[in-house]
Structures are given as C-alpha cells and as structure tokens.
C-alpha cells in the first residue's frame, strides 16, 4: 500500500461516505481502523519519549527559555547513577512494590477463594469490597493523612483499642520506621479488590469437571487445591502482579499526598523524586535522563516477567 491511510480517508470524504466505503477493501478498512490509534500513540507517547531521550543529553531547563541549551553528553546519566540518594529512592520504591504485591496477592487470593464458595449475597459483598479502587488515589491519600493523624484521626485509636498502645504515642506518617508501612497499608486497602477480582475470574474459569474427576480419584481437598486450583489460577495471579507492579512503579499521587516523600526520604519513591526534579526544580535535562532510566527499568523488568508469564500459560 503506497498511500497513507489518512490521505485515503481524506480522499474518500467529499462523496457520500457509504458509497465510497462499499468499495474499500478489507485491507484498507483494517488500516483505517488501526491508524487513529497508532497515530495517537505516536503523537502522545512515542514522540514525547523520543523528545525526552533527546533532552536527556542536554542541560535544558523548561523554565529558562532565554538560556542557552548545551549538549552535555552522558553527564546527566552519570550524575544520576552515581547519586546515592537515587539508590535510596530505588530501595524505597522496591520496598513499596514488594510488600504491596505480597499483601495484595495473599489477601486478594484468599478473598477470591472464599467468595468463590458462592455463599448467599456474594455478589453484593463483592461490589462493596471493590469500592475503594473506584476512588481517586490523590483524594484517598489526602484523606488518609487525616485518618493517620495521631490526635484527631481514627487509625491510632483503633490501634489503641486493640493493643493498648496509646494513640498519641506514635505517628504513622511521621516516624521513619512506620511511614514506609503506612503507605503500603493504604495501597493495600485500595488495590486488594483489584487483585481479588482477577483471582475470582481465574477461579471461575476452572471447569467443574476437573474437580469432579479429582473427586472420583479420591484426591483430598488439600491436594485438589495445590494441584488444580493454584496452577489454574497462577496465570491470572501473575497478570495481577504485572498490573500492580507496573502501576506501583509509577506510583505518584497516593504517596505524594500521604507523605510527600518524608520523613527523611523514607517514602521518597522514584516517581515522586522525578516529579520534584522535573516540575519543581525544573532541571529538565537531568530529569529527562532520570525518566529514561526509570522507563528502561520498568520496561526491562516487565519484559522478563511477560516471558515468564507466557511460559506459565503454555503449561
């Protein structure tokens, strides 16, 4: 095909659309259908990405239009990769990523497994449970700062009620040791339902006859769980982990509202630090390099993971 889909469409329009369309080949239709999507992605994802790569080799600042832009080669990358602070941020990100995924998978799978016993009213309860994920993460983060407030918030009083530790003796968001867990708790509260839904879909996709066959073979329930349920749900679970992983690697809104990265950088996730460099300090070149490093990391990890996922699916 020599003409681009766009020109073809443009040529097609002046006449009554339906008549012209009749004449379009399947192939042309295919391109017309796909082209807007590809075009949009090229314009708003790929083009900016290439631009970011370009900027990452300069000392450009988006707030200094009248300053001369210089090529600085790999200096931005060098500065980032040798900066201890950024490795600390990566560790904070890893802590957040690891524990949110572990907790959400454990709780989410358990819930799905229980709901799949189809007790009466399970539909209603499922709908209630998924409500937190409908909220805006920024609003959730903001409101949880209120809930975590030692004096006027609810969380510390609940802890006091169950453990006897006085409510005003600790601060979830203010303590260097507690804050990384405080953000994990909120994310888990919000996104466990998502993992649960995926697991539930997985559980419901297991045909009953497999269990029936196992019953006939007199396999114990325990054995059925490990040899049928778990392997059959595993691809779904891995998918859930992929989504949560990608999303939490990009995590910005929830945590920025909760802690703003503090105290003492303990919850300064990479993406929050990046936003600060790019849009508060306006070090555009430097932050572009930072962005590229993060993108390559998440892309690389995700690719490896997708390969593993495909292997599991093939089994």
Partner 1 sequence: MTMKRLLAASAVTAVAGLAASASQAQDLTLCWAAWDPANALVELSKDFEAQSGITMNFEFVPWPNFADRMLNELNSGGQLCDLLIGDSQWIGGGAENGHYIKLNDFFDANAISMDDFAPATVYAYSTWPKGTPNYYALPAMGDANGWFYRKDWFARPEIQEAFKAEYGRDLAEPKTQRELMEIAKFFQGREIDGQTVYGASIFTERGSEGITMGATGALYAWGFKYENTPGSYDMEGAVNSPAAVEALEFYKELYQCCTPPGYDNAYMEQSLDAFKSGQVAMAMNWFAFFPGLYADPNTGGDKIDFFVNPGQNVEASTLGGQGISVVSYSDNVDGALEYIKWFAQPDVQAKWWSMGGYSCHRSVLEDPDFVNSAPFAGDFLEAMAGVQDFWQEPAYAELLLAMQERLHNYIVADQGTAQEALDGLIADWTETFEDEGKL
Partner 2 sequence: MSAYSITEPSSRAKWTAGILVTLYAVITMVPLLWIVATGFKTPSDAISYPPKVFFEPTVEGYVNVFTTRTRLSPEALAALPPPANFAEEIVRQYDMVIAGPSRFGERFLNSVIIGFGSTFLSIFLGTLAAYAFSRFKIPLKDDLLFFILSTRMMPPIAVAIPIFLMYRQLGLSDTHLGMILLYTAVNISLAVWLLKGFIDEIPREYEEAALIDGYTRFQAFYKVVLPQAATGIASTAIFCLIFAWNEYAFAVLLTSGTAQTAPPFIPTIIGVGGQDWPAVAAGATLFLVPVMVFTILLRKHLLRGITFGAVRK
Does 304 engage in binding with partner 2 (CB under 8 A)? no
Checking 161-169 for CB contacts under 8 A at 24+ apart, the result is: none
Residue 64, binding choice from partner 2, partner 1, none, Cβ under 5 to 8 Å by partner class: partner 1
Q: Minimum Å distance from CB 51 to partner 1?
A: 16
Dihedral pair phi/psi, residue 23, rounded to 5°: -85, -10
Q: Which stretch binds partner 2 (CB under 8 A): 75-83, 94-102, 260-268, 284-292?
A: 284-292
The C-alpha torsion from 254 through 258 and 263 to 269, rounded to 10°, is: 0
If one asks whether residue 132 binds partner 1 (CB under 8 A), the answer comes out as: no
281 in contact with partner 2 (CB under 8 A): no
Separation between Cα atoms, residue 77 and residue 286, nearest integer Å: 8
Question: Distance between CA atoms of 116 and 110, rounded to whole angstroms?
Answer: 10
Helical spans, DSSP H, in the chain: 5-12, 17-22, 26-41, 47-55, 75-81, 84-115, 122-129, 137-147, 155-163, 179-204, 208-216, 221-224, 230-249, 253-258, 270-279, 284-314
In the range 44-63, which residues lie near partner 2 by CB under 8 A? 44-49, 51-52, 55, 62
Among partner 1, partner 2, none, partner that 194 touches (CB below 5 to 8 angstroms by kind):
partner 2
Start-to-end CA distance of the chain, whole Å, equals 40
Residue 118 falls in which region: left (phi positive, over 0), alpha (psi -120 to 50) or beta: left
Q: Which residues contact 57 (CB under 8 A, 6 or more apart)?
A: 71, 72, 73, 74, 76, 285, 289
Peptide bond just before 145 cis, omega within 30 deg: no
Strand partners for 58: 71
Interaction of residue 261 with partner 2, rule CB under 8 A: no
Which of residues 3, 70, 78, 215 is near partner 2 by CB under 8 A?
Answer: 215
> 32 or 301, CB closer to partner 1?
32
Contacts with partner 1, 5-44, as mask; x by CB under 8 A: -x--xx-xx---x---x----------x--xx--x---x-
Q: For partner 1, which residue of 1, 65, 124, 134 counts as binding (CB under 8 A)?
A: 65
Q: Which is nearer to partner 2, 118 or 311 (CB)?
A: 118
Q: Which of 77, 99, 157, 181 binds partner 2 (CB under 8 A)?
A: 157
DSSP state of 12: H
Rounded least distance, CB 137 to partner 1, Å: 16
Q: Would you say 58 or 176 has its CB closer to partner 2? A: 58
Identify which of residues 173 and 184 has a Cβ nearer to partner 1 in the complex: 173
Give the range of 60-68, 187-195, 235-243, 306-314 binding partner 1 by CB under 8 A: 60-68
Binding footprint of partner 1 on the chain (CB under 8 A): 6, 9-10, 12-13, 17, 21, 32, 35-36, 39, 43, 59, 62-66, 145, 148-153, 168-171, 173-176, 256, 259-266, 276, 279-283
């Amino acid at each position: 095909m020599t003409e681009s889909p766009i020109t073809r469409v443009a040529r097609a329009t002046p006449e009554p659309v339906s008549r012209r369309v009749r004449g379009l080949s399947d192939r042309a239709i295919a391109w017309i259908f796909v082209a807007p999507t590809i075009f949009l992605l090229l314009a708003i994802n790929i083009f900016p990405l290439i631009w970011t790569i370009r900027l990452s080799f300069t000392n450009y600042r988006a707030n200094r239009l009248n300053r001369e832009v210089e090529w600085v080669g790999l200096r931005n990358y060098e500065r980032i990769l040798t900066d201890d602070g950024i490795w600390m941020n990566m560790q904070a990100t890893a802590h957040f990523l690891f524990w949110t995924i572990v907790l959400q998978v454990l709780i989410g799978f358990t819930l799905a497994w229980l709901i799949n016993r189809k007790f009466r009213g399970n539909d209603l309860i499922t709908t209630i449970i998924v409500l937190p994920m409908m909220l805006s993460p920024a609003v959730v983060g903001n409101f949880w700062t209120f809930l975590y407030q030692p004096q006027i918030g609810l969380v510390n009083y609940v802890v006091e009620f169950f453990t006897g530790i006085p409510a005003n003796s600790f601060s979830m968001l203010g303590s260097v040791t507690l804050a990384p867990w405080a953000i994990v708790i909120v994310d888990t509260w919000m996104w466990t339902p998502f993992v649960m839904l995926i697991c539930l879909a997985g559980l419901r996709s297991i045909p009953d006859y497999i269990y029936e066959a196992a019953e006939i073979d007199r396999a114990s329930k325990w054995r059925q769980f490990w040899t049928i349920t778990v392997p059959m749900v595993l691809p779904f679970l891995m998918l859930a982990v992929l989504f949560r992983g990608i999303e939490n690697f990009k995590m910005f809104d929830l945590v920025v509202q909760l802690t703003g990265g503090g105290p003492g950088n303990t919850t300064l996730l990479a993406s929050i630090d990046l936003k600060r460099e790019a849009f508060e300090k306006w070090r555009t070149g430097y932050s572009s390099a930072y962005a590229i490093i993060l993108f390559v990391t998440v892309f690389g990890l995700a690719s490896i993971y997708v390969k593993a996922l495909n292997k599991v699916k093939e089994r």
